[in-house]
């Protein structure tokens, strides 16, 4: 079983948009030095540029003797297509897009294989049997080692597991859902049957170690950065995600619309830290540590636009043991009015 680090590094919005190759390399090296072995991207991120940058960074690290390909777990995702996604056969989870799209991603990454290929969303236009067969074939060709889902309804995952078992094809082994102090239900309720430990022991060949059906690699642990409390002033600081043109609608919702409560919640959590015995750590670190305190979470994918941000975020690891059951209960109580879907 491939092992992923508790924190991983993602590339959405950042790499190819806010982050150039020099900064990307510095971020990846900082992460790797702190124990991160898992890097996440997707065909759609920056229209394919994020994959190109990740490939360049991996190659530089190999050339500089920082890491080898064997040390890294690399994932990408298919569904939304790349820059040409307006063409109907360059998106979705058909056999054609899984085959052609994965080859295109590997070319941008400059890699022979990715460790994990994710179905970035469910595709209800394509028969599930075709999707399962196509991912399984990609694994048989050696272009990916595992496949996973992202934001699939639990029933669709169950159907994929059943289809794979019935046909002897590779099953999905990991899901990539949103999970943060505001968005909890899918991980804690809907996916609970997949993340419960099950005893696989008993047979001569069976391992006696308990295992989960699916690992979870969770995204937006800071809810787009809101849980840093950086938006407490009621406006987006220059250079922040909410100040980007692409985030205009999200900024409008956050400062004047339905998401206004998130700014208040981050401020309330920050104000409560001294009472929780956490006066010496940032609300950012508490929010990140909270995600990985869940036994269901295999890896929390971090996003960062500077080395300083990433260092602060990686420091959350030291905060995890301080989130005792009593502290977690207090955090739950405090956040209860703010939890959404």
Integer Cα distance of 146 and 217 in angstroms? 14
Region near ligand NDP per CB under 6 A, out of 8-16, 54-62, 83-91, 205-213: 8-16
User: What does the angle CA 147 – CA 94 – CA 149 come to, to the nearest 5 degrees?
Assistant: 30
Other beta carbons within 10 Å of 304: 23
Per-residue binding string, ligand NDP, 308-327, x by CB under 6 A, is: -x--xx--------------
Integer Cα distance of 170 and 311 in angstroms? 37
Binding status of residue 169 toward ligand NDP by CB under 6 A: no
CA 282 to chain centre: 22
From 230, 281, 297, 299, residue interacting with ligand NDP (rule: CB under 6 A): 230
146 is catalytic: no
Region near ligand NDP per CB under 6 A, out of 25-33, 206-214, 221-229, 263-271: 221-229
Binding status of residue 278 toward ligand NDP by CB under 6 A: no
Binding status of residue 298 toward ligand NDP by CB under 6 A: no
Binding status of residue 213 toward ligand NDP by CB under 6 A: no
Structure tokens at 145: 């080692």
User: What does the angle CA 305 – CA 308 – CA 310 come to, to the nearest 5 degrees?
Assistant: 65
181 three-class SS: coil
Catalytic residue among 25, 32, 45, 118: 45
From 25, 38, 182, 219, residue interacting with ligand NDP (rule: CB under 6 A): 219
Kindly state the smallest distance separating residue 44's Cβ from ligand NDP, in Å: 9
Integer Cα distance of 206 and 253 in angstroms? 51
Kindly state the smallest distance separating residue 29's Cβ from ligand NDP, in Å: 17
Integer Cα distance of 294 and 169 in angstroms? 30
Binding status of residue 14 toward ligand NDP by CB under 6 A: yes
Kindly state the smallest distance separating residue 9's Cβ from ligand NDP, in Å: 8
Kindly state the smallest distance separating residue 205's Cβ from ligand NDP, in Å: 34
Contacting ligand NDP within 149-168 (CB under 6 A): 150-151
DSSP string of 231-261, one letter each residue: TTTSSPPTTSGGGSGGGHHHHHHHHHSTTHH
Calculate helix-pair angle for 49-63, 21-33, nearest 10 degrees. 60
Binding status of residue 123 toward ligand NDP by CB under 6 A: no
Residues that are catalytic: 45
Residues that bind ligand NDP (CB under 6 A): 10-14, 18, 40, 120, 150-151, 176, 219-225, 228, 230, 240-241, 284, 301-305, 309, 312-313
């Amino acid at each position: 079983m491939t092992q992923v680090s508790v924190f991983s590094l993602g590339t959405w919005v950042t790499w190819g948009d806010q982050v150039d190759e020099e900064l990307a390399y510095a971020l990846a090296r900082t992460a790797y030095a702190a124990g991160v072995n898992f890097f996440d991207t997707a065909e759609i991120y920056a229209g394919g540029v994020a994959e190109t940058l990740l490939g360049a960074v991996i190659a530089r690290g190999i050339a500089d003797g920082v890491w080898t390909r064997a040390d890294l777990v690399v994932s990408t995702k298919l569904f939304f297509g790349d820059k040409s996604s307006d063409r109907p056969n360059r998106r979705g989870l058909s056999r054609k897009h899984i085959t052609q799209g994965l080859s295109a991603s590997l070319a941008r990454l400059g890699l022979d294989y990715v460790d994990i290929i994710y179905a970035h969303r469910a595709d209800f236009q394509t028969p599930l049997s075709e999707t399962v067969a196509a991912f399984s074939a990609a694994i048989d060709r050696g272009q990916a080692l595992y496949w996973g889902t992202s934001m699939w309804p639990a029933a669709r995952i169950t159907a994929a597991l059943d289809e794979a078992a019935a046909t002897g094809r590779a099953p999905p082994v990991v899901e990539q859902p949103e999970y943060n102090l505001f968005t909890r239900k899918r991980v804690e309720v809907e996916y609970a049957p997949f993340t419960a430990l099950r005893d696989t022991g008993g047979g001569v060949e069976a391992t006696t170690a308990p295992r989960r059906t699916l690992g979870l690699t969770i995204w937006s642990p800071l809810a787009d950065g809101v849980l840093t409390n950086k938006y407490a002033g009621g406006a987006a600081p220059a250079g922040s995600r909410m100040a980007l043109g692409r985030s205009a609608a999200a900024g409008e919702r956050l400062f004047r619309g339905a998401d206004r409560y998130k700014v208040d919640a981050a401020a309330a959590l920050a104000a409560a830290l001294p009472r929780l015995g956490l006066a010496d750590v940032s609300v950012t670190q508490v929010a990140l540590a909270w995600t990985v305190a869940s036994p269901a979470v295999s890896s929390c994918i971090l996003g960062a636009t500077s080395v300083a941000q990433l260092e602060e975020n990686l420091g959350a690891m030291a905060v995890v043991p301080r989130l005792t059951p009593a502290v977690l209960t207090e955090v739950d109580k405090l956040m209860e009015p703010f939890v959404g879907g």
